[in-house]
Structure 1
Amino acid sequence: MATSTSTATTATQRAQRVSEAIHSGEMEGLTVTPAGRADADEYIAGHIDSDELVARARARYGLD
């Protein structure tokens, strides 16, 4: 039987990753801005991928 691997994630998995990232930041004293949360929501919904999510955050803070 052949098996395949997929790197696709479900909305539930993406939501869990975002929740963990937010929690990690909060443990360090950081907060997520409304713009950052909007980007995260787009990622969770599957409208953007993780590369785009990171690119937006880096651009927002001048880290490009």
Structure 2
Amino acid sequence: MATYSNGYVLDSLGKTIATYSNGYVLDSLGKTIATYSNGYVHDSLRKTIATYSNGYVYTIYREPKK
């Protein structure tokens, strides 16, 4: 589980894994990797990949592609 605060997304060890601002989640190179709004995080295909609330990011389980 990740946490978020002050524009940073941190892994369970406290390492920055992404940043967020104005509805976009960016990787360490500044590339958009997801969008967020109203408690949901979406990938580039607008599929929900996570939810967020109260400083925590919760991943959504997906069935592996066959």
Structure 1 length-normalised TM: 0.30
Larger % of helix: which?
A: 1
Larger radius of gyration: 1
Larger % of strand: which?
A: 2
